[in-house]
Amino acid sequence: MIKDAERQEKDEILHLWKLCYPTQDEAYLRFYFDHIYDDGITVVKKQDDLIISSLHMNYHVMNFHGKLLKCSYLLGASTLPDYRRRGHFNALMESMLDEAEHNCLISFMKAFNPKAYARYGFEVVYERKAYTIGKAYLHGIKPLRVFDHATAEELLYIYKQFTKRFDGYHVRDIKYYELLLEELRLGGKQLSVYRNEHREVKGYVISTLRKNEVIVHEAVYMDSAILKRLLKKALGVHEEITLVVSKHEHIEKVFPLAIPKKQPYLMARINNYQLFNKLYNGKARNVKEAFAIVRKPLWNHEYY
C-alpha cells in the first residue's frame, strides 16, 4: 500500500534512512529530521506492518534563465534490503512524480546513480569538479581577516552577490542560513569567513574533516585571493584539502598543477515540456535542450 507518511512514522523512516545510507553522518540525519523533514513530502510503501520503502521531496525556488521557478528536489530513496528488486520503489517514484507534475516545472535529484533514473526522464545537467590542493600550494598564504563566524544576514548577502555570476541556483533566504548555522553548531561542519578591512563579509567556505581529510563542499567568494585565504584557514594543520566547485570555476588558473576530477552531481526532469516551452518561447524536446537556453554557467550545491 502506497500512502503519504504520517507523523508517527517519522522515527521508522529515519531508521530506514540510516540503514540505507550507512555512511551519512548520524548527527546530520537527526538534524534533518528535526528541522527540515517536516517541510517536505514523504510517500511510503507498507507491507508486513513495516515501511519497506520511502521517498522524500522538498520544494524550492530556483533562478532559471531570468525567471523564478518552483522546483522539487527528490531524495531519501530507501528500500529495506529484503524487499529490493521487486518494483516497490518504482511505484513510489511514479506516485511522487505525479505529485511533482501538478506543482512544479522541473524536478531534481542527486546524480548518484544516473542510469537508474534515466527511465523516469532524469538526465545529468550539472557536474562539479573536485581539486586536491596540497599544503605546498598554499605556502606563503596567510589566513588574514578569516574568522569562524558570521550572521545569517551576512552569509545571505554574499551568496546573493556571488550567484549573480551564475544561473540555476536556489533562491536562499534567512531561514536557510539560520538552519545552516544551527547545523554548524553540531560540529560536523566548519565555517570559514573572510572579512575585508571594513569588516564586510566577502566570502566563505563550508568544510568537513573526515579521517584526516578536509573537504570544502561549498565555496562562495568574490575573487581568487579571498579563496586562497579561506582555503588556508580551512586546511589548518592538515596536508591537503579537497575543493569542490562547479565545473565552470577554473581553479586550475589559481592552482596550475591541480588536476580536477569531474563528478556528476545533479539530474533534472522537465515535468511539462509544453508549459516550459511556452514560458521560455522555446522548442525543447529533452532535458539537455531545455537547459541549453541558459546563458550563464550553472551553479547549484544544494543537497536537500
Identify the pLDDT of residue 85. Answer: 84
Identify the pLDDT of residue 210. Answer: 82
Q: Is residue 83 part of a domain?
A: yes
Identify the pLDDT of residue 237. Answer: 93
Q: Does 141 lie in the same domain as 17?
A: no
Q: pLDDT for 103-138, tens place per residue?
A: 999 999 999 899 999 999 999 999 999 999 999 999
Nearest to 31 by CA among 45, 14, 54: 14
As to burial, measured by CB atoms within 10 angstroms (0-12 exposed, 13-18 middle, 19+ buried), residue 304 is middle
Q: Does 89 lie in the same domain as 212?
A: no
CATH number, domain containing residue 156: 3.40.630.30
DSSP reduced 3-state for 134: strand
pLDDT, averaged across the chain: 95
Q: Is residue 189 part of a domain?
A: yes
- Say if residue 21's pLDDT is above 90: yes
Q: Does 78 lie in the same domain as 21?
A: yes
Per DSSP, helices labelled H in 61-128 are 88-101, 114-118
- Say if residue 150's pLDDT is above 90: yes
DSSP reduced 3-state for 257: coil
Q: pLDDT for 63-91, tens place per residue?
A: 999 999 999 999 999 999 998 988 888 99
Identify the pLDDT of residue 87. Answer: 84
Identify the pLDDT of residue 123. Answer: 98
Q: pLDDT for 160-174, tens place per residue?
A: 999 999 999 999 999
Q: Does 201 lie in the same domain as 162?
A: yes
Q: pLDDT for 189-204, tens place per residue?
A: 999 999 999 999 999 9
Number of domains forming the structure of the chain? 2
Q: Does 83 lie in the same domain as 195?
A: no
Q: How confident is the model over 96-107, as a mean pLDDT?
A: 95
Lowest mean pLDDT segment, chosen from 43-47, 59-63, 85-89, 215-219: 85-89
- Say if residue 186's pLDDT is above 90: no
Q: Domain range holding 27?
A: 2-127+265-291
Torsions phi, psi of 61, nearest 5? -105, 130
> 58: part of which helix (H) or strand (E)?
strand 50-64
CA distances (Å), origin 221, targets 143, 166, 168, 261? 14, 13, 18, 21
Q: Does 141 lie in the same domain as 96?
A: no
Q: Name beta bridge partners: 58.
A: 73
Q: Is residue 299 part of a domain?
A: no
Q: Name beta bridge partners: 126.
A: 266
The answer to whether the CB of 250 falls within 8 A of the CB of 244 is no
> 130: part of which helix (H) or strand (E)?
strand 123-134
pTM of the prediction?
0.93
Q: Is residue 226 part of a domain?
A: yes
Q: pLDDT for 243-258, tens place per residue?
A: 999 999 999 999 998 9
Q: How confident is the model over 214-242, as a mean pLDDT?
A: 97
Q: Is residue 232 part of a domain?
A: yes
Q: Which residues contact 174 (CB under 8 A, 6 or more apart)?
A: 152, 153, 156
The answer to whether the CB of 290 falls within 8 A of the CB of 136 is no
Q: Does 278 lie in the same domain as 228?
A: no
- Say if residue 187's pLDDT is above 90: no
